[in-house]
A and B are shown apart, each in its own frame.
Chain A
């Protein structure tokens, strides 16, 4: 009896491990040697992106492998793996992270007339290390019953005493706020950015917690009156399929601050070719695809982001929010000022 049951257990184990080995091997082994493929390290984990990659596969016959993780872990991984990396393209939700990747010598400069033509200069690296793919504006979201739209003007105005206990935004460990601060260091200088941060902290309705959607809910609930958050999340909430979320998002309004002055802060998802990519040409081709009109339309209609390619019209929802003047800075400064931004936020007690 003993021997029999051991045999059964053993064979079950072998079957199990074969099964799992097959699944693990899906990405690298057992491939047709003529099959071209690229590997994307992506911070963007939207199911809508996968649809786009499938489209690329169908168009070009190049297989797209996707590795999804946070931007910081992906950067650490590229650094650790060095020239042995399997990655070809690095795609992150914040241009600041790509500038940091460039500074850590993880990216390869590419020459692409197509990209230079279709990506506005603000949204790409001067030397061709990375290119913006899709943009989001970091705006003020307010409750129309409690806030008169005429009372809103700029980000800086939120530090006035009138706003005490009425403002929310997420934690300073979040890259979107780090990039917001990094852009302020650029447009208002170190001291200006510091004054803004400490004034904002003084006016917080509560200690930062949760993500952008939670900030919107905070405004809805009356806990706060204004939230600093990305446009994208309002779009996602409006299309969530959950009646309460749709209702919540519909009762809030968006305001593009700093229109007469320095412009609204815009951040972009961006992509670059990995320095030790084994196939930079295919990687470049992939990034060009992301900037094609098809892909750009996909970003705006399915993910409510602003297309970077100026030839592509915005989604109707985005158009309904109105047009706006963005900050006139190169997104590279978001990465350059990132550490400085984190320091200031920690110093003024923005948690």
Chain B
């Protein structure tokens, strides 16, 4: 029996086991506290607020999922199935909205449409008096869809690209209408990618704190912050987190259950579907997508540029330069760590797979499914406990040291980033490994190269593109990250994201415009790099289900 459990100890296994432990321990550490006696605060929350939190959360994620799925699929279908002028440009630019954090888009539109904002003012000048109320659930849904649909688009597009033309041709030959082909062949084949994309969108939505706090939409992440900070009750915050985690797992489980035992395989040798020119009403498709881009990217950016001229803080003030250094260095550091650990995990995943291996890898990737507010609690408590245990060791080095060392340092924030975004790095790298197979690596082992040497000299060069695209996506995510940064940053430490939040929540959007612009600029640059790499087979960012 032990033989089956025995896993060969090497650098990959050790890293993987540690990575898993580092996420299980903090999470269990907080989850056990659910069994404590409920406090008065919890009874209060349960009686008066919980139902509303649930309703709002369910409404928000349902509509965001539906609409982003529709938009993402439509965009992917248009650029993969039709030929038109500017298709290639549109194809990469459709990913750009990923560079605009949803909270920044929220600030921009709320400002533009406020009574003295540019839109109602201009309309009044031409004699139209309309009042807008942007800070509603409906606008929040639209903003989430506009900023997050690129996840669905990216995954679905690469799935549609790989679809085999012969399936569609066969269906057409057998007399199926175009609509029927779409519903019965194209959509089912793209389903895993579509669902994976939507799942990413839902998880990102549940994670958001900036936008829902600004619009006062009382969903779970907002509630967790409120219980923890305003009521000062960590245990109630943990209870809310537990409810939220249940929601997340129900969503994932429902999808699996609906899919059941059906599997959608694509044969490896595919003949890509030929793109057809747009005909008749189809000519409107690219316009719709350009329209989406205008609202999801160009208007926010142009408006921020317009605001920047009034800002009292300059582009090149020392403070701004520090912010850029802070953001870039922590993002680079976290990205490097994630990529390195993800490579180890992916190596651990190769070869014979056991059920232990599979479930352990799932655990190491759990962080992405856990909303930032929850992860922040877990990491914070974990670090304070660790500090208490390590205190005697700290004293050996510096007898006057305080008890808290790690939990007052940047290490805590980096640790949280790594836990949260590991899944993104891992899935991308694992997909690249799948593509190259194992023969090269095995050949290297057979030639008695060490594991590490094989990794550096054989594997890494082979999966270079995958590594880079993993790094870029992780980097964008870390740079934009808000809830973890707000809670876990050390004293007086600001990133561009936290500074934008700070200014904007103090009604100083003009001052927020410059860090926001720099943030969007850096992320856009990353999107450009990502889409213009000489990648074989397009995106390697594939989430396997």
- A is bound by B: yes
Chain B 464-499 interface residues, beta-carbon cutoff 8 Å to A: 486-487, 491-493
Query: A210, B121: Cβ atoms under 8 Å?
Result: no
Q: Does A121 contact B (CB under 8 A)?
A: no
CB closest residue in chain A, given B52: A351
Closest CB in chain A relative to B317 CB, distance in Å: 12
- A70 x B322 contact (CB < 8 A): no
Interface presence of B226 (CB below 8 A): yes
Q: Which of A53-61, A220-228, A254-262, A308-316 contacts B (4 or more CB under 8 A)?
A: A220-228
Closest to B40 in A: A339
Q: A17-B329, A23-B322, A242-B310 are in contact. Are A217 and B493 (CB under 8 A)?
A: no
Please measure, in the bound complex, the distance between the C-alpha atom of A351 and the C-alpha atom of B215, giving whole angstroms: 11
Q: How many A residues, CB 8 Å from partner?
A: 55
Other-chain residue from B310, B322, B492 in contact with A68 (beta carbon distance below 8 A): B492
- Indicate which residue in B226, B487, B491 contacts A67 across the interface (CB closer than 8 Å): B491
Tell me which residues across on chain B come within 8 A of A161, comparing CB atoms: none
B264 at the interface (CB under 8 A from A): no
Interface flags, B371-393, vs A, CB<8A=1, else 0 = 00000000010001000000000
CA distance A39 to B408 in the complex (A): 15
Q: Which of B233-265 contact A (CB under 8 A)?
A: none
Instruction: Give complex CA distance A79, B120 in Å.
Output: 46
- For residue A109, give the distance in angstroms from its CB to the closest CB of chain B: 21
Q: A140 an interface residue at 8 Å Cβ cutoff?
A: no
Contact status A23-B116, CB under 8 Å = no
Given contacts A45-B502, A86-B491, contact A210 B110 (CB under 8 A): yes
Give the CA-CA distance A221 to B124 in the complex, in Å. Answer: 11
- In the complex, are the beta carbons of A217 and B326 less than 8 A apart? no
> Which residues in B have their C-beta under 8 angstroms from that of A83?
402-403
Contact B326 A20 (CB under 8 A): yes
The verdict on B407 contacting chain A, using a C-beta distance below 8 Å, is: yes
**How many residues on the B side are at the interface (Cβ–Cβ under 8 A)?**
50
Given contacts A16-B329, A76-B228, A82-B403, whether A245 and B507 have CB atoms under 8 Å apart is no
Task: Verify if B188 is at the interface (C-beta below 8 Å from A).
Answer: no
Contact A81 B325 (CB under 8 A): no
In chain A, positions 1-43 with a C-beta closer than 8 Å to chain B are: 16-17, 19-20, 23-24, 27, 39
**Is there an interface contact between B131 and A209, defined as CB atoms closer than 8 Å?**
no
Q: Quick check: which of A126-134, A194-202, A292-300, A342-350 contacts chain B, the rest being far away?
A: A342-350
Contacts of B505 in A (CB 8 A): 211
Given A82-B403, A84-B403: A218 and B115 interface contact (C-beta under 8 Å):
yes
Q: Does A248 contact B (CB under 8 A)?
A: yes
Of the candidates A23, A81, A100, A244, the one whose C-beta lies within 8 Å of that of B404 is A81
**Could you say which residues of chain A place their CB within 8 Å of the CB of B49?**
346
B89 is an interface residue with CB less than 8 A from chain A: no
Interface residues of B in 294-312 (CB under 8 A from A): 310, 312
Tell whether A104 is near chain B: CB-to-CB under 8 Å. Answer: yes
Q: Whole-angstrom distance from the CB of B250 to the nearest CB of chain A?
A: 26
Compute how far the CA of A72 lies from the CA of B486 in the bound complex, rounded to whole angstroms: 12
User: B468 to chain A: closest CB distance in Å?
Assistant: 13
Interface residues of A in 219-250 (CB under 8 A from B): 220-223, 241-242, 244-245, 247-248
Measured between beta carbons, the chain B residues less than 8 angstroms from A222 are 131
- Whether A343 and B44, one on each chain, are in contact in the complex, defined by CB atoms closer than 8 angstroms, is yes
Asked if B506 is at the interface (CB within 8 A of a chain A CB), the reply is yes
Q: Which of chain B's residues 120-145 have a Cβ closer than 8 Å to chain A? A: 120-121, 131, 133, 135-136
- The 8 A CB mask of B206-242 against A (1 = contact, 0 = none) is 0000000011101000000010111110000000000
B114 CB-CB contact with A under 8 Å: yes
Measured between beta carbons, the chain B residues less than 8 angstroms from A80 are: 380, 384, 404, 407
CA distance A289 to B216 in the complex (A): 38
Is A66 part of the binding interface, using a Cβ–Cβ cutoff of 8 Å? yes
**A189 interface residue (CB < 8 Å to B):** no
Which of A17, A84, A213 has its CB near the most chain B CB atoms (within 10 A)?
Answer: A84
A167, CB-defined interface residue at 8 Å: no
| Contact call A209/B135, Cβ cutoff below 8 A | yes
**B404 contacts A104, CB within 8 Å?**
no
Given A20-B325, A23-B326, residue A244 in contact with residue B116 (CB < 8 A)? yes
Interface contact B121-A244, CB-CB below 8 Å: yes
Contact in complex: A209, B216 (CB < 8 Å): yes
Residue B452 interfacial (CB < 8 Å) = no
Given contacts A20-B325, A209-B216, A339-B231, A346 and B402 within 8 Å (CB-CB):
no
Tell whether A104 pairs with B229 under 8 Å between CB atoms, given A20-B326, A221-B131: no
Q: Smallest CB-CB separation from A41: which chain B residue?
A: B491
Interchain nearest-CB distance for B44 vs A (Å): 6
- State whether the Cβ of B11 lies closer than 8 Å to any Cβ in chain A: no
Whether A84 and B115, one on each chain, are in contact in the complex, defined by CB atoms closer than 8 angstroms, is: no
Q: B387 CB to closest chain A CB, in angstroms?
A: 9
CA distance A20 to B330 in the complex (A): 9
Residue from the set B115, B133, B135, B326 with the largest chain A CB neighbour count within 10 Å? B115
- Complex Cα–Cα for A41 and B290 (A): 47
B35 at the interface (CB under 8 A from A): no
Instruction: Please name all residues of chain B whose beta carbon is closer than 8 Å to the beta carbon of A47 when the two chains form the complex.
Output: 312
Would you call A210 and B135 a contact (CB within 8 A)?
yes
Determine if B48 and A45 form an interchain contact, defined as CB atoms under 8 angstroms apart: no
Q: How far is the CA of A65 from the CA of B326 in the complex (A)?
A: 18
Contact residues of A between 62 and 104, Cβ < 8 Å to B: 65-68, 70, 72-73, 75-76, 80-84, 86, 100, 104
A2 to nearest B CB, angstroms? Answer: 10
B115→A220 contact, CB < 8 A: yes
Q: Shortest CB–CB separation between residue A167 and chain B, in angstroms?
A: 16
Residues of chain A lying within 8 A (CB to CB) of residue B215: 209
B232–A351 CB distance below 8 A? no
Let me know if A173 is at the binding interface, CB within 8 A: yes
Chain A 309-351, CB-CB to B under 8 Å as 1, else 0, gives 0000000000000000000000000000001001100110001
Q: Are B506 and A66 in contact (CB under 8 A)?
A: no
Q: Which residues of B sit under 8 angstroms from A100, Cβ to Cβ?
A: 232
B410 part of interface (Cβ distance < 8 Å): yes
B2, chain A: closest CB distance, angstroms: 42
In the complex, chain B residues whose CB is within 8 Å of the CB of A247: 116
Q: Which B residues touch A248, using CB under 8 A?
A: 115-116
Residues of B within 8 A of A70 (CB): 229
Name which residue of chain A comes closest to B225, CB basis. Answer: A72
The answer to whether A81 touches B230 (Cβ under 8 A) is no
Tell me the minimal C-beta distance from A218 to chain B in angstroms: 7
Q: How far is the CB of A232 from chain B (nearest CB, A)?
A: 11
A208 within 8 A of B: yes
* CB-CB under 8 A for A20 and B329, given A72-B232, A347-B48: yes
B407 and A173 contacting across the interface, CB-CB below 8 Å: no
- How far is the CB of B505 from the nearest CB of chain A, in Å? 8
Nearest opposing residue in chain B for A222, CB measure = B131
Asked if B114 contacts A173 (CB within 8 A), the reply is no
A166 close to chain B: CB less than 8 A: no
Give complex CA distance A76, B380 in Å: 11
Distance in angstroms between the alpha carbons of A66 and B319 in the assembled complex: 14
What are 24 A-B contacts defined by CB distance under 8 Å?
A19-B329, A23-B325, A24-B410, A45-B502, A65-B492, A66-B492, A72-B232, A73-B486, A75-B232, A76-B229, A80-B380, A80-B407, A81-B402, A86-B408, A173-B216, A173-B226, A207-B216, A209-B215, A217-B116, A221-B120, A242-B510, A244-B121, A351-B216, A351-B218
Which B residues form the contact surface with A (CB < 8 A)? 41, 44, 48-49, 52, 110, 114-116, 120-121, 131, 133, 135-136, 214-216, 218, 226, 228-232, 310, 312, 322, 325-326, 329, 332, 380, 384, 402-404, 407-408, 410, 486-487, 491-493, 502, 505-507, 510
Please name the 6 residue pairs, one residue from A and one from B, whose CB atoms are nearest each other, closest first: A84-B402, A72-B229, A221-B115, A209-B135, A20-B329, A346-B48
Known: A19-B329, A23-B326, A210-B214. 5 other contacts (CB 8 A): A24-B493, A66-B492, A67-B492, A83-B402, A346-B44
